[in-house]
Amino acid sequence: MIRVSRLFKSFGYALKGLAKTMREEQNLRIQTVLSLIAFFLGVYFRINRLEWAAIIIVICIVLFAEIANSAVERITDVLKPRINSYVKEIKDIMAAAVLLASAAAAAVGLLVFWPYLYTFFGQF
C-alpha cells in the first residue's frame, strides 16, 4: 500500500536535493536558463507535439546528466584525488557525458528552431 506521507517525504528530499544542486552548481543554473529559453521559444513559435517531445527529452537528459555529474563529483571527492588516481578520470568522464548531452540538445534545438528563426528574421 502506498503511504502518502512517505511519498511526500520522498518528494521533499528530492526538492531539497534539486535546490542544493541549483544553488551550488553554476552549470545547472546556466542549463536551466537555456531550457527556459527553449521553452519560451517553443511557446512563441507554437511548435508541434513532436518538436515539444524532442525538446523536453533533451532538456531532461541534459539536466539529469548535470545532476548526476554533481552527485558523482561529491562521491569521488570523498575518495580524495591523492588517494585514488581514478578520481580525476571519473570526473572527466562524467563531464564528457554532460558535454555530449548538451551538444545533442543544441543539435535538436537547432533542428527544431532553425526554420522558425529563419522565417522570423527573414521578415526584417
In angstroms, the CA 50 to CA 25 distance is 31
pLDDT in tens, 35-83: 999 999 999 999 999 999 999 999 999 999 999 999 999 998 887 766 6
Task: Say whether pLDDT at 102 is over 70.
Answer: yes
Q: How far apart are CA 56 and CA 72, in angstroms?
A: 24
Class of domain 4-122: mainly alpha
- Hey, where are the domains in the chain? 4-122
Question: Rounded to the nearest 5 degrees, what angle is found at the Cα of 44, between the Cα atoms of 27 and 46?
Answer: 110
Query: Which string of DSSP letters, residue by residue, matches 15-72?
Result: HHHHHHHHHH-HHHHHHHHHHHHHHHHHHHHT--HHHHHHHHHHHHHHHHHHHHHHHH
pTM for this model (two decimals):
0.88
